[in-house]
A and B are shown apart, each in its own frame.
Chain A
Amino acid sequence: MLEEFGKIKQEAEQAIDGCGSLKELEDLRVRFLGRKSALTSLSSSLKGLSPQDKPEAGRLFNQTKNFIAGLIEEKKKDFKGLEDRLDLSFASEKINLGSKHPASIVVREICDIFAGLGFEVQEGKEIEDEWHNFQALNIPLEHPSRDMFDTFYLDLKPSGAYKHLLRSHTSPSQIRLMKKRKPPLAFLVPGRVYRPDAVDASHSFMFHQIEGFAVSRDINFSHLKGALVYFAKHMFSDKAKLRFRPHFFPFTEPSAEVDISCIICKGKGCSVCKRTGWLEILGCGMIHPNVLKACKINPKTYQGFAFGMGIERIAMLKFGINDIRLFFENDIRFLEQFYEV
């Protein structure tokens, strides 16, 4: 009996020692300790032993079982994680993701911020006519104030006396909305605009603008300031400071240009802000009564504000892009740099 146990122990020890894998080890466990193992059949034959021999045999049995189980546990350590071991530092697969154009990222962010204030987003068509693009906005067709809005004209039949053109700002779409909807209203209009400017690092003949306007019985200049400060804090930084400078636009009165404290140098002065500490980001003002009248809204009852900004300019400040032409070059090495956080 003793030598039976000894034989099993020896066999097990040898087999376990020479074992090459965790799977093999598991097979060995089944072989030596499982239901059909030699050890188990021996244990059943223990029943036929005499009362004097039984305790000794039982002890031997347990000792053998524990010995083999112990060997197996020890051997397991040899394989600890070895089979599952990979070189984690090995080169990963390059994953190509889809992405949003940085101009679209900025438009979306601006729309989301103003949605928080109750503004709805609507778009308009890029082809417009002189009435909506100029006349209705209090911009006379022959006046120096028209020079800042030079336009591309199109070979389409005029709408009455008004020729067709590619809109030079998104304001005409504002006009169309105000003609259709009566106050109170608050809209945001993003979109492509066109100006025949010579193309360089800060100018493109096609770019994106977003304009917002709100009209009600009591919206006033302090609300304009508040809405824009709210926007700047959410768009750039909660420490952003804004400066409102009196300016002139034919369609607003009072008008202002809005500067933000330079996000690069935090107002100390650098090459980006030309050492002034301020960066111009927006134009705005209270909507001129002539504009409201053109939309058949009574300026004696209603008043409102409007603002507009160049999307590429905002994106260039936000992402540190230094050349507007990159937006339309669409080099994949440019596009893959931008993601929404």
Chain B
Amino acid sequence: MKFSLNFLKEFLEIKVSPDKLSELLTMAGLEVIARERVGSDTSFEVEVTSNRPDLLSIVGIAYEASALLGKKSKVSLVKVKTKPALNMPVTIESKKDCSLYIGRVIENVKITPSPAWLVERLKACGINSVSNVVDITNYCMLKWGQPLHAFDLDKLSEKLIIRRARPKEKLICIDNKERELNSEALVIADGKKPIALAGVIGGKTCEVSAQTKRIFLEAAIFSPIRIRRTRRLLGINTESSYRFERAVNPAYIEQACFEAASLIERLSGGKVCGYKKIGTTPPLKRPRIKFEVSKMNNFLGTDIKENKALQILKHLGFKVDKTRRDIFIKSPLFRQDISVEQDLFEEIARIWGYQNIKEELPAVKKDMEVRPSFYRFKEAIREKAIRLGFKEIITLSIVSEKHISSHLLEDVEAIRVVNPLRADEDLLRPFVFLGMLERLRHNVYRKQRNLEFFEIADSFIKSGGSFKESPKLCLGVHSDAKEDFYVFKGKVEAFLKTLGIEGFSIQEREQDLFSNFCLIENLGWIGILGSDKAYALDLNQVFLAEFDLEALACQAKESTFVNINYLPWVERDISMAVRGDVKFNRIEDMIKAEVGALLKGLEVCDVYKGEKISKDFTGFTLRVFYQHKARTLEAQEVDSLHFSLRDALASIEGVILR
């Protein structure tokens, strides 16, 4: 909101510089965000917080500034003339929507451009001049905080109703837009049709124009909620609706309307010939709050003397009521935001100056309860992934359905956003790997090819009439070499090992989008993206894994020390060629069964697939490590065991020893 310094000076002697005034206002809670010279005036742009509608007027800001400058503000109230009476029928359909409505009729007006002083005033408040009558309504709104509206009386059939719009009723507003209304909208209507959106914007038909001779001037109090709903429904926000939504101060409605009518008489040559008022001012809160300065100092950490605190409140318009034992404070009518004692503490603190409150460290008391923090666990997981060479990404949780294959969505019920920013991006992702895939694609598109990413994020699904939000870890790799999958698998195993999880069972499965996919117990899964999907995304090899962090946390074990076996071990190699349909774990299982407890480990070296070997065979060398727990093994013992191992392996169909 903008206000004019010269306008403010009509109510208050300001001797400080604009700089100093900015600082004073800002440090007391009315933030000055910009300032510029406008002719001989200065325009201040301020951010008025929603709890201080009283600052949406010059008289309100004058009151605040006077408290800050230690001066008295002079707001002179004139005696309002209420005669002659207006005969026109005006009805309010519901008191809840409109509690008070005042109308004045001014006849014989001449619509002309406004005098320079008025144009300047408005300009310094950021409002453009239109014509004398319209400008006067804006001027009085800026001064008193009471929005006013002028209608061309000749254009409306001579009765007024303040009512809800009927469904499908239409109104062309003064911004030239036609709007369709419904029963949520509050309108000013004449006998036939709506002529304005009450408190928001006027209609074109009764707009004041160069030909207007008779004015109907409206000043009213509308329900803040009703105005809010009306303007949200129709997507408009005006200076008028902004003030009504925050609740205008009823104290000035008569002044504002009378001053406007008087100014119209003066500047347009017209004559007021009727006044009507229906309804009453709405009930206002006026709490009486007990004030204890010791409580305040305990709350703020200050040592403010009681008389200083009370002086601040008095300057702000509060009334101090001292009884024998207690002090009670009554807030001014224009401060409907005051209800509890902390509101008073804030008033005193902000005028006293937050910068004058000392800084002390809080003494936070600990207790004996042990509360495990899942954040700590997530940080540990993060470290593990980083150690394995993955870079952390953070991707958006709201995705578009077109990025998910419809088959995937068949198994789960995804949660939808009812009011998305973009109509096609409205799914809360049920799988975290979707974001990973998107970002791999994004980076590869930008010519970055070797990518290893991870993300820790929640997945969302509907479940049993409610929802399930689960923290997940997703690992993703883009590579140009299919064999790199075994590096990825190695990292996944290393990762699980650092959680104390080894020897887990895997279960291969058909899974849409993937060429290879297997579940890792109840912990998660690992897979390779199907080549047709990869091709569609312009990607090469994509390896993915996802883990449920809660399941991992359940199974994770702390490290426990196992004695090192310093005894020497014996290595023996077996070179073999294995046919494509024979799975490696079959060979591995056989070795484990044959060698038993003497098996220290197994390594694969020299993997070969090429010309020297039959087409669907893979050649490699297995290095078997033999070690005894309690004594040095003799070569002969190993030899005989190794020979029977060779025999056992050779007996597997599709395995050829070399």
Q: Spell out A's residues near B (CB within 8 Å).
A: 96-101, 103-104, 108, 111, 117-123, 125-127, 142-145, 147, 152-157, 164, 166, 184, 186, 190, 192, 194, 196, 198-199, 205-206, 214, 216, 218-227, 229-230, 243-248, 250, 253-257, 286, 288-290, 303, 327-333, 335-336
Can you list 5 contacts pairing A with B, beta carbon distance less than 8 Å? A100-B392, A103-B394, A117-B362, A155-B416, A286-B342
Q: Which of A121, A223, A244, A327 contacts B360 (CB under 8 A)?
A: A223
Given contacts A98-B387, A286-B299, contact A330 B442 (CB under 8 A): yes
Within the assembled complex, what's the spacing in Å between the Cα atoms of A127 and B461? 11
The DSSP consensus for interface residues of chain B is mixed
Identify 14 new A-B residue pairs, CB closer than 8 A, beyond the known A223-B362, A226-B358, A333-B448.
Answer: A96-B450, A98-B386, A117-B362, A121-B373, A127-B460, A142-B229, A143-B228, A145-B51, A220-B301, A229-B359, A245-B27, A246-B354, A288-B342, A303-B299
Chain A binding surface, main DSSP class: mixed
Alpha-carbon distance A222/B398, docked complex (angstroms): 41
Determine if B376 and A332 form an interchain contact, defined as CB atoms under 8 angstroms apart: no
Interface string of B150-169 (1 = CB under 8 A from A): 00000000000000000000
- A-B contact count, CB below 8 Å? 240
Q: Are A222 and B392 in contact (CB under 8 A)?
A: no
B299 / chain A contacts, CB cutoff of 8 Å: 220-221, 286, 303
Decide: A254 near B375, CB < 8 A? Known: A152-B419, A156-B467: no
In angstroms, Cα B28 to Cα A256, docked, is 10
Q: Which of A103, A122, A184, A250 contacts B375 (CB 8 A)?
A: A122
Chain A residues contacting B50 (CB-CB under 8 Å) are 143-145, 147, 248
List residues of chain A with CB within 8 A of the CB of B207.
Answer: none
Residues of B within 8 A of A (CB): 26-29, 31, 49-52, 224-225, 228-229, 245-246, 298-302, 340, 342-343, 345-346, 349-350, 354-355, 357-362, 364-367, 371, 373-376, 378-379, 382, 385-398, 415-421, 428, 439, 442-443, 446, 448, 450-454, 457-458, 460, 462, 465-467, 469
Q: Are A166 and B417 in contact (CB under 8 A)?
A: yes
B360 CB contacts on chain A under 8 angstroms: 222-223, 225-226
* Complexed CA–CA distance, A250 and B49 (Å): 11
A190 and B357 in contact, given A99-B386, A156-B466, A220-B301 (Cβ under 8 angstroms): no
Write the nearest CB–CB distance from B229 to chain A, whole angstroms: 8
Which residues of chain A have C-beta atoms less than 8 A from B395's C-beta? 328, 330
Question: Which residues on the B side are within 8 Å of A256 (C-beta)?
Answer: 354
Inter-chain contact B29/A246, CB cutoff 8 Å: yes
CA distance A100 to B386 in the complex (A): 7
Instruction: Tell me whether A96 and B452 are in contact in the complex, defined as CB-CB below 8 angstroms, given that A145-B50, A206-B398, A330-B393 are known contacts.
Output: yes
Instruction: Give B26's nearest chain A residue, CB to CB.
Output: A245
| A327: contacting residue among B376, B394, B465, CB under 8 A | B394
Contact B394 A328, beta carbon cutoff 8 Å? yes
In the complex, which residues of chain A have a beta carbon less than 8 angstroms from the beta carbon of B229? 142
A125 to B466, CA, bound (A): 14
In angstroms, Cα B457 to Cα A206, docked, is: 13
Known A-B contacts A184-B365, A223-B362, A253-B346; A330 and B376 likewise in contact (beta carbons under 8 Å): no
Give which listed residue, A143, A166, A222, A230, contacts B302 with CB less than 8 A: A222
